[in-house]
């Protein structure tokens, strides 16, 4: 999967994606669960934040949104003005080591080749303070249009998360705004 092609595709579909999905739903309730696991005054990094309406807007003020596509970040600037926004790739987050209390990656990791998912999880672990919280999706399906997806399957994903240094993985299934059932993983950096 060509990372620059994925970026170009997101530049093209960011506005349409933001317009067509509902920012509410049972999966959004899981963000409350995450917030309940965080320390006071946390720093949360939302990787693949897109327009920010789904996840970033429901995170503590001052959270950081990171996205590959400038178009998504431009939308997020209007949607979540209190957020700090950075353009970057989840394979090399533009953040110092050990700065975040939590990382969220809502429908994001599968836009990276499955063979590189362990690198993504290791990068998440790098930016987290130990012990840090983490929130991840393992999703199948797409709302339509052209996009790259790469998922190694549930077992290999959970193994890669554990191999990256995360512990106590807990999975929860919820409905997402695109009408799909999605599995979310909460795990703590060991």
Domains of the chain: 3-189 (3.40.50.150)
pLDDT of residue 140: 38
Prediction pTM value = 0.74
Residue 80 CB contacts under 8 Å (≥ 6 apart), including other chains:
52, 53, 56, 57, 65
pLDDT of res. 126: 94
Show the tokens assigned to 43: 């720093």
- Region of residue 107 (phi > 0: left; psi between -120 and 50: alpha; otherwise: beta): left
What tens digit of pLDDT does each residue of 72-103 get? 999 999 999 999 999 999 999 999 999 999 99
């Amino acid at each position: 999967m060509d990372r620059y092609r994925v970026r170009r595709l997101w530049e093209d579909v960011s506005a349409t994606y933001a317009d067509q999905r509902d920012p509410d739903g049972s999966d959004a309730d899981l963000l409350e669960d995450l917030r309940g696991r965080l320390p006071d005054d946390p720093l949360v990094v939302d990787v693949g934040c897109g327009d920010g309406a789904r996840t970033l807007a429901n995170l503590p003020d001052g959270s950081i949104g990171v996205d590959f596509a400038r178009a998504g970040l431009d939308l997020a600037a209007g949607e979540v003005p209190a957020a700090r926004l950075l353009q970057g790739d989840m394979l090399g987050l533009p953040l110092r080591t050990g700065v975040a209390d939590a990382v969220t990656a809502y429908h994001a990791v599968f836009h990276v080749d499955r063979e590189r998912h362990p690198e993504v999880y290791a990068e998440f672990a790098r930016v987290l303070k130990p012990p840090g919280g983490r929130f991840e999706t393992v999703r199948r399906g797409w709302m339509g249009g052209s996009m790259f997806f790469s998922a190694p399957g549930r077992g290999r994903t959970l193994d890669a998360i554990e191999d990256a240094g995360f512990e106590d993985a807990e999975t929860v299934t919820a409905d997402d705004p695109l009408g799909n059932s999605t599995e979310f993983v909460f795990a703590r950096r060991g």
